């Protein structure tokens, strides 16, 4: 996945994905916790595939956000002890 840095790139990226991937991406973007696959759906191969797509979208959104907003400790020059 390429880094998505603006709304136009996000729209383009998400249009190539399934609705379940998009739901996961948006859930993370909006600060929601990822949905858990209900016990009643386990064993249903189709629903498990959809849930996997959802989790992939959620995870890709997390990774993209971390690349755009690195943790503060990654922005500190250890030798100088100051923010870069």
Over the stretch 40-57, which tens digit does the pLDDT of each residue have?
999 999 999 999 999 999
CA dihedral 36, 45, 52, 10 (to 10 degrees): -120
**Residue 15 pairs with which residues in a beta bridge?**
none
| pTM of the entire predicted model | 0.80
Cα 32 to Cα 40: distance, rounded to the nearest angstrom = 22
Is the pLDDT assigned to residue 84 strictly greater than 50?
Answer: no
Residues 6+ apart with CB under 8 A from 1: 13, 60, 63, 64
Nearest to 10 by CA among 47, 57, 54, 45: 57
Over the stretch 17-48, which tens digit does the pLDDT of each residue have?
999 999 999 999 999 999 999 999 999 999 99
Express as a percent the part of the chain with pLDDT over 90: 70
């Amino acid at each position: 996945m390429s880094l998505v840095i603006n709304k136009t790139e996000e729209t383009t990226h998400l249009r190539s994905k399934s609705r379940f991937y998009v739901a996961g991406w948006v859930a993370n973007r909006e600060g929601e916790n990822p949905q858990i696959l209900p016990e009643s759906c386990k064993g249903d191969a189709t629903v498990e595939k959809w849930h996997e797509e959802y989790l992939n979208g959620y995870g890709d959104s997390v990774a993209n956000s971390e690349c755009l907003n690195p943790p503060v400790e990654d922005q500190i020059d250890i030798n100088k002890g100051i923010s870069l």
